[in-house]
Amino acid sequence: MASIGTKNYEPTVARKVAFLGLGVMGLPMAGHLARAGHDVTVYNRSPGKARAWVEEFGGRSAPTPREAAAGAQIVFACVGNDDDLRSVVLGADGAFAGMAPGAVFVDHTTASADVARELYAKAKELGLNFVDAPVSGGQAGAVNGVLTIMCGGEQAVFDAIKPVAEAFGRAVTLVGAPGAGQLAKMVNQICIAGIVQGLSEAIAFGQAAGLDMKLVLDVISKGAAQSWQMENRGGTMVDDKFDFGFAVDWMRKDLGLVLAEARNNGARLPLTALVDQFYGDVQKMGGGRWDTSSLIKRLRD
């Protein structure tokens, strides 16, 4: 079965690109680049995923980020966290060591604004370019090539990468200077934390009251309480199904970045800090890999 959905790509000049990190998100994102006509070389730490990707999509795989990045006009990456990102970018086998002057590194990892600024500065020293570009839209967004992409960087560099990133993105937007993409993603995660807790309380309340909650959600999702979480996760929350989607472990990583940034900028995040602790409870229940909508489990078990 194909691991990506079909998409009508806007015509664009074919580029030589690399993609580092073929996880849940990276594998389909790199697949859309290949299907859109770009010349793609992939790298993955565990080589089996890279071999499987090449079998499905063509292109090439390389044994190190440096070799994957050699000759690429744009190097995309989507790995786990700040340290993972540094390990594919820096050092003798890192992507920066292989990139030619003028090439652009586009990072789709959800990471800190600090590491984005650090790698932007390092890139500039080497005559390279760097854009932080975390994504929203989940696995389904990556599979269907409809991610929302929040970018931080320079306008001219952003303009050059935007048509290429549109292979897997629906809304690709420059929101500000280096690091601003990561800060925008933090805003996104703050919104999600509060919404999922509210939705959890609402569904648990409705079930305790004996309501047909699928019917109730269907009705209220046409009114002011509507949200992406309600439409896409409400039904599975009612059914107590969480074995898919965006893992609680990743959400805790993201909320850790949010709370650290808030300590720097002085923003007050009482609800986000509380929900972060609730996600800690879910981890203790064994739910680290459950979808973030599993917040409702605390209210049931």
Ligand X SMILES: NC(=O)c1ccc[n+]([C@@H]2O[C@H](COP(=O)([O-])OP(=O)(O)OC[C@H]3O[C@@H](n4cnc5c(N)ncnc54)[C@H](OP(=O)(O)O)[C@@H]3O)[C@@H](O)[C@H]2O)c1
Q: Which stretch binds ligand X (CB under 6 A): 15-23, 90-98, 120-128, 224-232?
A: 15-23
Q: How far is the CB of 132 from ligand X (least distance, A)?
A: 12
Q: Which stretch binds ligand X (CB under 6 A): 93-101, 122-130, 133-141, 164-172?
A: 133-141
Q: Which stretch binds ligand X (CB under 6 A): 20-28, 170-178, 227-235, 276-284?
A: 20-28
Q: Is 61 in the site for ligand X (CB under 6 A)?
A: no
Q: Which two tokens stand for residue 271?
A: 């609800």
Q: Is 24 in the site for ligand X (CB under 6 A)?
A: yes
Q: What is the number of alpha carbons within 13 Å of residue 199 lying toward its C-beta?
A: 28
Q: Is 157 in the site for ligand X (CB under 6 A)?
A: no
Residue selected from 12, 139, 144, 148 as contacting ligand X according to rule CB under 6 A: 139
Q: In whole angstroms, what is the distance from residue 175 CA to residue 153 CA?
A: 8
Residues in contact with ligand X, counted by CB under 6 A, come to a total of 23
Q: In whole angstroms, what is the distance from residue 183 CA to residue 134 CA?
A: 9
Q: Is 26 in the site for ligand X (CB under 6 A)?
A: yes
Q: Is 74 helix (H, G, I), strand (E, B) or coil?
A: strand
Element (H, E) at 40: strand 39-43
Q: Is 21 in the site for ligand X (CB under 6 A)?
A: yes
| Residue closest to ligand X (Cβ) | 23
Q: Is 197 in the site for ligand X (CB under 6 A)?
A: no
Q: Alpha carbon of 51 to those of 1, 159, 167, 206: distances in Å? A: 16, 32, 22, 48
Q: Is 27 helix (H, G, I), strand (E, B) or coil?
A: helix
Q: Is 170 in the site for ligand X (CB under 6 A)?
A: no
Q: Which residues contact 188 (CB under 8 A, 6 or more apart)?
A: 136, 150
Q: Which residues pair with 42 in a beta bridge?
A: 19, 61
Q: Is 110 in the site for ligand X (CB under 6 A)?
A: yes
Q: Which residues pair with 17 in a beta bridge?
A: 40, 74
Element (H, E) at 133: none
- 248-265 vs 180-208: helix axis angle to the nearest 10? 120
Checking DSSP bridges between strand 129-132 and strand 39-43, what pairing results, if any? unpaired
Q: Is 149 in the site for ligand X (CB under 6 A)?
A: no
Q: How far is the CB of 94 from ligand X (least distance, A)?
A: 10
User: In terms of CB distance, is 53 or 120 closer to ligand X?
Assistant: 53
Q: Is 206 in the site for ligand X (CB under 6 A)?
A: no
CA-CA-CA-CA torsion for 88, 66, 107, 291, nearest 10 degrees? -50
DSSP state of 247: B
Tokens 């409809």 sit on residue: 146
Q: Considering only residues 64-103, where is the footprint of ligand X by CB under 6 A? A: 78-80, 84, 87-88
Active site residues: 185
Q: Is 46 in the site for ligand X (CB under 6 A)?
A: yes
Q: Is 45 in the site for ligand X (CB under 6 A)?
A: yes
Residue selected from 98, 138, 153, 234 as contacting ligand X according to rule CB under 6 A: 138
Q: Which stretch binds ligand X (CB under 6 A): 5-13, 40-48, 53-61, 204-212?
A: 40-48
Q: Is 23 in the site for ligand X (CB under 6 A)?
A: yes
Q: Which two tokens stand for residue 226?
A: 């509507």
Q: How far is the CB of 232 from ligand X (least distance, A)?
A: 12
Interface with ligand X (CB under 6 A): 21-26, 44-46, 49, 78-80, 84, 87-88, 109-110, 135, 138-139, 246, 250
